[in-house]
Amino acid sequence: MSMVLILEWVVGIALIGGAIACVTTENILAAIVRLSLLSMVAVVAFALMRAPDVALTEAVIGSGLVTFVFVVTVKELFAKEDKNEEVH
């Protein structure tokens, strides 16, 4: 078994495990961080599959911008909910 094949297996199992960990958690912020980690693993998977273009895009968008958008949205939503609770 070559090193690359072992790495492929590790990355594949990490992808599935990361996806399950992301879906099953109750905490939304933790889910977002796990999604970010999942896309970091996906970058390695794309690089192993010889698609460096896709890997670059995934690294920038998947783990950078998407995380920002999700975190800001969740922050805004919780801030609004807190305000509503104070009013009632």
Partner 1 sequence: MKKFISFLLILVLAFFLMTSLNSSLDFFNPPNSLDETRMSNAFIHKNASGGSDPVEFGKSTGLEDGSANIVTSVVVDYRSFDTLGEITVLFISALGVGLLLGAGTGAKQRSGFILKTAAKLISPLMMVTGIFIFTHGHLTPGGGFPGGSMMATAFLLNYFGSGSISTDLKSLKWMESLAGVFYIVIGLIGLFVAGSFLQNYLPTGTVGHLFSAGIIPIIYVLVGLKVGSEVSGIIADFSKSEVTS
> Mask 3-32, x = binds partner 1 (CB under 8 A)?
---------------------x--------
Rounded Cα gap, residues 44 and 6, in angstroms:
13
Residue 56 found at the interface with partner 1 (CB under 8 A):
yes
Per DSSP, the three-state class of 25 is: coil
Q: Residues binding partner 1: what is the number (CB under 8 A)?
A: 15
Rounded Cα gap, residues 42 and 71, in angstroms:
20
Position 3, amino acid: M
Residues that bind partner 1 (CB under 8 A): 24, 52-53, 55-57, 60-61, 64-65, 68-69, 72, 76, 80
